[in-house]
Amino acid sequence: MDFSKLQQRGSVEWRLPATGRMRVPGVILASRDLVAAMDDKVLEQIANVAGLPGIVAAAYAMPDAHWGYGFPIGGVAAFDAADGGVVSAGGVGFDISCGVRTLHTGLKRADLEGAKLRLADLLYARIPAGLGSVGGLRLSAGGMEAMLMGGARWAVGEGYGAIADLTHIEDSGCAAGADPGAVSDQAKRRQRDEMGTLGSGNHYLELQVVAELFDQAAAHDYGLAVDDVVVSIHCGSRGLGHQIGTDYLREMVLAAPAAGILLPDRELACAPLASALGRRYLGAMRAAINCALANRQILTQLTRDAFAEVFPGSALTLLYDVSHNTCKEETHRVDGLSRRLFVHRKGATRAFGPGHPELPAGYRRAGQPVLIGGSMGTASYILAGRAGEGERAFGSACHGAGWAMSRHEATRRWQGRAVIDELAGRGILIRSPSSRGVAEEAPLAYKDVGAVVDAANLAGLAVKVARLAPLVCVKG
């Protein structure tokens, strides 16, 4: 990273002043070490985002930021529709509404002694994982429409999970304003057989143990104690979201000149929020959010069924479910004024603070659970949102460890088998259909997740609550 362009403001804030076509400054919220490890391309992408029409306050990068498609991954940017603001398909990302949900199992570490291996094999047998994997469900045209409108609420109605789950999901499990008519037939076709599947890449289902608590009061409110076993599911909207991203990116590139939008990078393709194209994309993207929420809801039921085979009578309850690839219409205070903004979070987690009316009653005191997936074999974290007065980055935080290198570089350095054996030696069981996928996801291919959450904590984005250590990981 070229520090010469950055102005340091405190230990974890770096400002890229607005120059040239930038309308607002860029702000990186990370430690010096994390910034030093970031590619210069991140700076270039932040500057490009800062030049988009209608952007408000600043283009932000979270501590885990790295360069992505158009926008950096770990990027946050908000736009005002009344000020010519835009929505960008690249600013949401291809895996629309990719996110994490964490479930309490009601079990302690000691309960797993002797059952871990069986549970690993059972979860791997029950959870469809890998590229092109299909689920046990085939959606009819009507079923597809209902799923895209209803999200996790639809899934509960179909028998996956309980109504009580819904209060612990962002948007109560259903994004409003979804428009299945704005989703291409091809996107729907790709999704027809893929409900209740994990996918590939960095997606996983992980059995974890609470290894350390940092904030007793918040941990209490979240129902977490040391040695508790939890399950975390990381996945998104599969082929449907990917196809929507592909479809609209192409359309936005073609429509940009007529909309008077000059693109410094075609990957930044966007459309005015006030345009028909912008509205159609929002409708399709919200349908993809519902697809991801329904998908994680189905996977939750498959997980419960697997647990019931090993631990009859076990009850898995939902701690929280939050996405990290979205564009959401939200109210934020900017310079003392309350404004409706369209907040793009790409590889960034919503992190609403204490008292926010959208949080379930039990979490109003602590703030929203912020679920941070680490890399395979390292730690994951649960943080509590701190957004409020003086908030930065529109109530957002980091989403994971963030890549330290390309997938190609990772496969050059490691072999899947060796990674699995090394982790097995440390008592961490990996189950995956893809040896190459495991190599790409080797722990050292990622940044140090502990350093990332420490930076998020220092920057005031979210407060550390718990560290989770992996026990079993089903990888896509």
In the complex, minimum distance from the CB of residue 203 to DNA, in angstroms, rounded to a whole number: 5
Rounded distance, CA 251 to CA 253, Å? 6
Phi and psi at residue 385, to the nearest 5°: -60, 145
Please, which residue, 131 or 418, has the CB nearer to DNA?
131
In the bound state with DNA, the residue whose beta carbon lies nearer, of 116 and 346, is 346
Name which of 194 and 391 has its Cβ closer to DNA: 194
Nearer to DNA (CB atom), residue 86 or residue 401: 401
DSSP assignment string, 383-448: EEE-BSTT-STTTEE--B--BSS-HHHHHHH--HHHHHHHHHHTT-EEE-S-HHHHHHT-GGGB--
C-alpha to C-alpha distance for 228 and 204, rounded to whole angstroms: 20
Closest approach of DNA to the CB of residue 355, in Å: 33
CB 324 within 8 A of CB 100: yes
- Least Å distance, CB 34 to DNA, is 19
Cα 475 to Cα 40, 377, 437, 444: the distances in Å are: 31, 11, 8, 16
Crossing angle of helices 276-310 and 238-255, in 10° steps, is: 170
Closest distance between DNA and the C-beta of residue 441, in Å?
A: 8
Phi and psi angles of residue 213, each rounded to the nearest 5 degrees, phi first: -115, 140
Residue 310: CB atoms within 10 Å: 16
Q: Smallest gap, in angstroms, from Cβ of residue 117 to DNA?
A: 26
Query: If you search the block for the tokens 């391309």, which residue do you land on?
Result: 41
| 399 tagged catalytic | yes
Q: Among residues 239 and 367, whose Cβ is nearest to DNA?
A: 239
Specify the 3-state DSSP secondary structure of 92.
Answer: helix
| Residue number, 57 or 292, with CB nearest to DNA | 292
Amino acid of residue 92: V
**CB atoms closer than 10 angstroms to residue 239:** 21
Two tokens at 194? 């893929």
Give me the least distance between CB of 199 and DNA, in Å please.
Answer: 3
Question: Catalytic: which of 220, 324, 399, 408?
Answer: 399
Task: Give the residues lining the site for DNA (CB under 7 A).
Answer: 94-95, 98, 131-132, 186, 190, 194, 199-203, 235-236, 238-239, 242-243, 434, 436, 476
Catalytic residues: 399
